[in-house]
Structure 1
Amino acid sequence: MKKTYHIIMTIIGIAGMTLSTTFLSSCLDESPKDRLLEYKAYDSSTNLYINSVGNLYNYIGGNSNSQGIQGTYRGVYDYNTFTTDEAILPTRGGDWYDGGFWQDLYMHKWTSTDKALLDTWNYLYKVVGLCNHSLAEIEYNKNLLNDSEYNEYTAEVKGLRAMFYFYIMDMFGNVPLSMKDGATLDDMTQATRQEVASTIISQLQEAATYLPDEHSNIQGKYYGKFTRPVAYFILAKMMLNNEVYLGNGEHTFNIDGKQLNAWEACIYYCNMITKEGYSLEKNYADNFAVHNETSSENIFTIPMDKTLYSNQFWYLFRSRHYNHGSAIGMDAENGSCATLLTVKTYGYGTDSIDSRYSINFYSDTLRVDGKIVYLNNGDPLIYRPLEVAPDLTGSKYEKTGGARMSKYEIDRTAHADGKLQDNDIVLFRYSDVLLMISEAKVRNGEDGTQELNMIRNRVGMNDRKATLQNILDERLLELMWEGWRRNDMIRFGIFQKAYDQRKQVDNEDSKFTYLFPIPQAVIDMNTKLKQNQGYK
């Protein structure tokens, strides 16, 4: 079932270098006087690409709070990770209280007035607006392009816009849907989540025809670009989450002249990715190595280079104990760690611990270059995976509780205390594709055991039957620290339940926390917008 909803609304207008976010921030004027009057003229197709398509890639990563899909704090990644049973950022005495922000994420007590939520909304919609403007510039200057160039430039921007709408729709549900450049506040209306999801699907299906059939994680012309396999990956995610995004009931899609249900469609797009030549790396850890650009498994990454790009990766820095950072010649913030549920799922403390545990976590007595790291009092630094709570203040293990983030190989030549590293940040990965196939098969009444055990056998773990619970557990074991846990928990219907050390908030059986509230500052600017259910 292929639908396109035409909802005319524009979010951002640009004149020269001036950006007017007409409803994204309450501090901006409702009637911007700098709306675009005419589009820039370019002298070549190359310059048009650089300034209307290439410049959009500056926004996938970031170096300040709430900016970038991954890499920084208080943005898309943190809202999708520290709200779950996967990871926690405990208060450690005078560290990490931050007005209760991190505890509120874990406890599901966020509000519509959270500044970080507004900043995240503004970031996502800013990029949508830039995409809309880029499409307008391409259209205005299409005389510079042959038909192939026009189709490819347009497809690339539409693909990027659809990806950002995927995160907006996933986090906020019923949201404004902008498909053109340069409208006023009066034109803005609120689309349903189903309408936004259907538009994302149709836009990606349309774009995939013209996108380059290339691997974007490999250095070269298409490095870091939105290519056809990237579109297929998001389409597979849309199909896998169809009941969340499109509503309960059977959804069918016309793909290549065949009517497929959502699970069949998910498998179709996953198989298309397999045909593109992706495969599991023999060594799980190689996907996160300092130089991971040759991975056969990584589908879409944020390119990182300490001397070329400003994108930063803060998560290792945030997690390591101070003395751990000092031992590798860097600073550290002694914060984030795995939850109790996570380390128990990995089998910590048993004879059957998962082999990926030692790759994903720093745990127990810490050694750097084979030498024990010591605390300031002379005791060995021992991370305590089972000594975790939302507030560790006053605990014997206040500073050492929790298994800490590892996964990414430490770049010992990194700048800015490791935040400017050469490891590309992994967003989409082929192992996730295999897990999507396994899950879609099970939900469709088929056997997904083969795909599940391809993942397990790669890391030397015993076979398991593909049940929904085993697949959910495997997604935690395989995709730890990769930003998918909230999406998974909602799809499996457990995000609203008490888990780990978290209790339900009032009325959470209604599943209202499946969506974040639309920031109040946005509603104040546009009173046509309705707040998500369950929020004031």
Structure 2
Amino acid sequence: MRIQATTRLGVVGVLLLAAVAACNNDLTVQPKSTITSANIFNDTASYRAFLAKLYAGLVVTGQSGPDGNPDIGGIDEGFSQYVRGYWQLQELPTDEAIIGWGDIGLPELNIQTWSSSNPFVTAMYSRIFYQVALGNQFLRETTDEKLAARGTSASLTTRVHQYRAEARFLRALSYWHALDLFGNVPLVDENFDISQLPKQATRTDVFSFVESELKAILAQLPTTKGGEYGRADQAAVNMVLAHLYLNAKVYTGTDRSTDARAAVEKVISSGAYSLDPTFRRMFSANNNTSPELIFAVPQDGVHTRTWGGMTYLVHAGVGGNMNATSFGIDGGWWGLRLRPETVDRYEGGAGGPDHRTSFFFTDGQTKTITDIGNFQQGIGAPKYTNVTTGGQAGSNATFPDTDYPMFRLADAYLVYAEAVLRGGGGDRATALGYVNAIRERAYGGAAGDITDAQLTLPFILDERSRELLWEGFRRQDLIRFGQFTDAGIWTFKGGAPLGKLTQSFRNLYPIPANELSANPNIKQNPGY
């Protein structure tokens, strides 16, 4: 999406925040920053600029364009980008994606053999807590007492109250990612004494914190679709709550399907969103115009350049006989392909009647994979593109204008259906209607409709993969259905060409080794 710097919460505003110190992977021990009320909050625009930095933390990786002054030290700057790191940890170890590169730590993600020193695991952990540290700093500097001491006007104080709610949303989002990926993690808010070493909170405690934060800020945010695109509103909060509750049995041992259904119902019943009649638009350079996107991470080829995010997702899926210019880019990176089990999940496979396979690329590609490093083994899936649905290339051939679609209506429909099937109340006929609405778009009519008898939990797991392919949900879904480690077999799982079971401790990633060295209060997850 092209961002107009004069009208949007432009991440160009982060230039005002170049004083933020880079992280050396010890943020939970001592979040370091040179931000003070003296050098940042000396004009009213600084509050908005700081909030821009918080949103930008999901996109950019440092203080100087795509690289050169990174937030996270010790790893290639592009590797440390938030969306890229999160996507890789949720997709690469699953039956959906495989990547052919040999960068240290990446092959281990393909085959579920990572260790506590894996640089990609470490980078994601560090990125999460960098976001948390920035959010905490913003909240410390925007209390009513500090605003009053600075003589802040009543109108600006009101705006800052909303900014604080958005900062708490972004912090809660990161803590949801932390508890999902790592389990028991340090829980540090704006009231924590940063001169002390934080203690490790249980996964249940982190869950409760995220839930309470999201519920507390709900009324302080714009109504559903009532704010600026790419910023948090009540629908974004309810989508995080819905996923938090849907996975609560995994996180806490307590089923919260009723709450998941209630949260997602609020999004659906708002009437603010509709299924996009053009499926491909949601993954194209004009996806900011889609009526289906609920919360997206905006990216722009001029103002938000990064080697992660959509730059990675667009380029890494292109290679072989594909023409890079047809995807609006200056070259493919020959990386990501589909594992064969996912291709077979669609009726008729690639080229079948399910139009969601329309972007599958088969020319010169084999479905089977015997050599992970060979890009032309594995069906190509250039789902994300830097071209609009009207055929116009993005503003930059290296850095796409395409936004990352974190939550969309089809996901909400499938959350509702799953919650109903798990005993969360609601209406089974409504759930069936939602699923068939998704499938009618996919098939161009009723040919793909299912019956009530076919609406089962295993079907929902498969349908989530078909509909939400490569959107960052698969690991989480497989764990919720008990199919990620000690059940479920797919190509190269566990390092075996035909796949093999792995140990269930890998349902969580390890706490990075350097975090354990820096803070004796932190204990490693079992099995590592």
TM-score if structure 1 supplies the norm length? 0.80
The one-character-per-residue Cα deviations of 1:285-322 (angstroms, maximum 9, x if unpaired) are 22223212221110111212222322452223112225
SS at structure 1 position matched to 2:400: coil
* Contact kept? 1:156, 1:226, Cα under 8 Å: yes
Identity in percent? 27
Counterpart AA for 1:387: T
Identify which of 179, 196, 202 aligns with 1:192. Answer: 202
**Are residues 1:346 and 2:346 paired?**
yes
Take 1:117 and 1:125, find their aligned partners in 2: how far apart are those partners?
13
Query: Mean Cα displacement is larger for which, 152-161 or 284-293?
Result: 284-293
Tell me: CA distance 1:160–1:39, structure 2 relative to 1, closer, same or farther (3 Å).
Answer: farther
Q: How far apart are 1:199 and its partner, in Å?
A: 0.5
- Most deviating of 118-127 and 322-331: 322-331
After superposition, the Cα gap between the structure-2 partners of 1:34 and 1:437, relative to the gap in structure 1 and judged at 3 Å, is closer
Moved more, 500-509 or 310-319: 500-509
Structure 1 position 47, deviation (Å): 1.8
Could you say which residue in structure 2 is the equivalent of 1:226? 232
Q: CA-atom RMSD, angstroms?
A: 2.9
2:261 is the counterpart of 1:270: no
From 89, 100, 112, the equivalent of 2:99 is: 89
Q: Distance in 1 between matches of 2:516 and 2:237?
A: 32
Q: Distance in 2 between matches of 1:228 and 1:85?
A: 33
Q: Could you say if the C-alpha distance between residues 47 and 533 of structure 1 is closer, same or farther in structure 2, counting changes exceeding 3 Å? A: same
Q: Of the candidates 131, 138, 152, which is equivalent to residue 134 of structure 1?
A: 138
Q: Aligned runs of 1:99-248 on 2, under 5 Å?
A: 99=104, 101-139=105-143, 141-143=146-148, 144=152, 146=154, 148-180=158-190, 183-184=193-194, 186-215=196-225, 222-247=228-253
Find 2:82's aligned residue among 40, 49, 69: 69
Higher mean C-alpha deviation, range 272-281 or range 176-185: 176-185
Distance of 1:490 and 1:39 partners within structure 2: 47
Deviations 1:32-64 (A, max 9, x none): 9978776657366x4243133222111111344
State the Cα deviation string for residues 166-207 of structure 1 (Å, max 9, x = none): 111111000001112663453410000010011000100001
How far 1:347 sits from its partner (Å)?
3.0
CA shift, 1:123, in A, is: 1.1
Q: CA deviation at 1:110?
A: 0.2
Aligned to 1:321: 319
Match of 1:463 in 2: 449
8 Å Cα contact 1:230-1:299 kept in structure 2:
yes
Shift of 1:503: 4.7
Partner Cα separation in structure 1 for residue 330 and residue 517 of structure 2: 44
Where does structure 1 lack aligned partners over 5 or more consecutive residues? 1-14, 91-95, 251-261, 366-381
What pairs with 1:31-46 in structure 2 (closer than 5 Å)?
42=41, 46=44
Answer yes or no: is the 8 Å Cα contact 1:52–1:137 preserved in 2: no
Residues 322 and 333, structure 1, Cα contact 8 Å, conserved in 2: no
- On the 8 A contact 1:300/1:428 being kept in 2, the answer is yes
Change beyond 3 A, Cα 1:333–1:20: closer
Q: Which runs of 5+ in 2 are unaligned?
A: 1-16, 61-65, 67-76
> Structure 2: how far apart are the matches of 1:168 and 1:444?
27
| Structure 2 counterpart of 1:291 | 286
CA 1:243–1:505: 2 relative to 1, 3 Å:
farther
Larger strand share, 1 or 2: 1
- Matched with 2:513 is 520
Residue 414 of structure 2 corresponds to residue 435 of structure 1: yes
Query: SS of the residue aligned with 1:299?
Result: strand
SS in 2 for 1:301: strand
Deviation at residue 498 of structure 1 after TM alignment? 4.2
Runs of 4+ in 1 over 6 A off after TM superposition: 30-37, 505-509
Question: Deviation string for 1:136-172 (max 9, x for gaps)?
Answer: 1111532225364343222111111000111111110
Query: Equivalent residues in 2 for 1:277-426 (5 A)?
Result: 277-311=272-306, 312-321=310-319, 323-325=321-323, 328=326, 330-349=330-349, 353-359=353-359, 361-362=360-361, 364-365=362-363, 382-384=364-366, 386-389=367-370, 391-392=371-372, 398-411=374-387, 413-414=393-394, 418-426=397-405
Can you list the C-alpha shifts for 1:202-235, whole angstroms capped at 9, x where unaligned? 100001110111428xxxx612111111111100
Q: Which amino acid aligns with 1:438?
A: A
Deviations 1:302-344 (A, max 9, x none): 2122223224522231122255245647221222100011000
Query: What TM-score results when the alignment is normalised by the length of structure 2?
Result: 0.81
Q: 1:246 to 1:458 in 2, by over 3 A?
A: same
Q: Which amino acid aligns with 1:172?
A: F
Contact 2:245 2:260 in 1 (8 A): yes
Which residue identity does 1:271 align to in structure 2? E
When structure 1 is superposed on structure 2, of 126-135 and 448-457 the one drifting more is: 448-457
Which whole-Å CA distance do the structure 1 matches of 2:163 and 2:377 have between them? Answer: 50
Report the CA distance shift for 1:308/1:85 in structure 2 as closer, same or farther (over 3 A). Answer: same
Change (3 A) 1:39 1:117: farther
Return closer, same or farther for 1:445/1:149 CA change in 2, 3 Å cut-off. Answer: closer
Task: Indicate the larger mover: 320-329 or 481-490.
Answer: 320-329
Q: Give distance in 1, aligned partners of 2:510 and 2:475.
A: 15
| Residue 474 (structure 1) aligns with | 463
Which letter does structure 2 place at the counterpart of 1:103? P
SS of the aligned residue for 1:215 comes to coil
Alignment-mate amino acid for residue 290 of structure 2:
S
The question of whether the paired residues in 2 share the 8 Å contact of 1:83 and 1:108 is answered with yes
SS of the aligned residue for 1:113 comes to coil
Find the counterpart in structure 2 of residue 494 from structure 1.
Answer: 483
Q: Whose helix proportion is higher, 1 or 2?
A: 2
Give the aligned length.
Answer: 467
